[in-house]
C-alpha cells in the first residue's frame, strides 16, 4: 500500500510518500514540502499548493491520501489557511477516486512515538528510526507528513480503510494510537 501523507499548511505543506504492508517495515518513497509565497494573494497561494499537490499525486500514485485533521487554534487566519489546504488535498484525491483518511495530531503522534503528546522533535526522531533514514526528515512539516502516512499504514484492523492485521500483531505504538483514536472519538 502506498500512502501520501499531507500536513496541510498555506506557507509550507508537508508531503511524504510511504510504502508498506501489514506486519512489514515501512519504506519512504519521497518527502518534501509544497510552498506558497506569503506575499501573494490567497487565491494564488492556494493555486500554487494545488498544482504541487497534483504533481505529487500524479508522480507517486498513492493508494490513499492521509491528511492531518484540522483542529481549532487560537489564530483564526492560520486555521483557515490550513483548512483550505486540507480541502485542496481532499479534492485532488477525490478527483482521482483515491480514498482519503483524516488523522488528528494526537493520533499521529501516538502512532509513531507511543505518546499522543510527543513534541515535533520526538516525531522527527521516530520517523527517522521507523523509516531507517540517514538523517532527520526536515523541515518538521515534511516529518509530520511522513508520520501521517505511517499512522495510516498502521491503523488497527477494522478501522475504515485500514490494512488488515492478524489479531495481536499491533505494536505498542499502534496500540497507543488506537487508544488515542478512541479517546478522541469519545470527546466528540
Q: Which is the catalytic residue, given 19, 107, 141, 144?
A: 141
Catalytic residue among 68, 107, 144, 181: 68
The yes-or-no answer on residue 141 being catalytic is yes
Give the active site residue among 7, 19, 107, 181: 7
**Euclidean distance between CA atoms 43 and 166, whole angstroms:** 47
Report the Cα 67 to chain-centroid distance in Å: 5
Q: How far is CA 36 from the centre of its chain?
A: 19
- Residue 68 annotated to the active site: yes
Binding residues: 7, 68, 141
> Bridge partners of 64?
3
Hey, what's the cell of 18? Answer: 510511504
4 φ, ψ to 5°? -95, 115
DSSP assignments along 1-14, one per residue:
-EEEEEE--SSEEE
Which triple of cell numbers denotes residue 64? Answer: 490513499
Is 107 one of the catalytic residues?
A: no
Binding-site residue set for Mg(2+): 7, 68, 141
Taking the C-alpha atoms of residue 188 and residue 181, their distance in angstroms, rounded to an integer, is 11
173's grid cell: 505504538
* Active-site annotation, residues: 7, 68, 141
Amino acid at each position: 500500500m502506498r500512502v501520501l501523507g499531507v500536513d496541510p499548511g498555506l506557507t509550507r505543506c508537508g508531503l511524504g510518500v510511504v510504502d508498506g504492508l501489514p506486519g512489514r517495515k515501512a519504506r519512504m518513497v519521497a518527502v518534501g514540502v509544497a510552498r506558497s509565497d506569503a506575499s501573494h494573494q490567497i487565491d494564488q497561494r492556494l493555486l500554487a499548493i494545488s498544482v504541487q499537490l497534483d504533481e505529487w499525486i500524479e508522480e507517486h500514485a498513492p493508494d490513499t491520501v492521509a491528511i492531518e485533521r484540522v483542529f481549532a487554534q487560537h489564530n483564526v487566519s492560520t486555521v483557515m489557511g490550513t483548512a483550505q489546504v486540507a480541502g485542496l488535498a481532499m479534492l485532488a484525491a477525490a478527483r482521482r477516486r483515491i480514498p482519503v483518511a483524516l488523522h488528528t495530531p494526537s493520533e499521529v503522534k501516538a502512532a509513531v512515538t507511543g505518546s499522543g503528546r510527543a513534541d515535533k522533535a520526538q516525531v522527527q526522531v521516530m520517523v527517522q528510526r521507523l523509516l531507517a533514514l540517514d538523517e532527520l526528515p526536515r523541515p518538521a512539516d515534511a516529518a509530520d507528513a511522513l508520520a501521517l502516512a505511517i499512522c495510516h499504514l498502521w491503523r488497527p484492523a477494522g478501522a475504515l480503510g485500514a490494512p488488515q492485521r492478524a489479531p495481536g500483531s499491533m505494536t505498542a505504538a499502534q496500540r497507543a494510537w488506537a487508544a488515542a483514536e478512541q479517546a478522541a472519538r469519545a470527546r466528540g
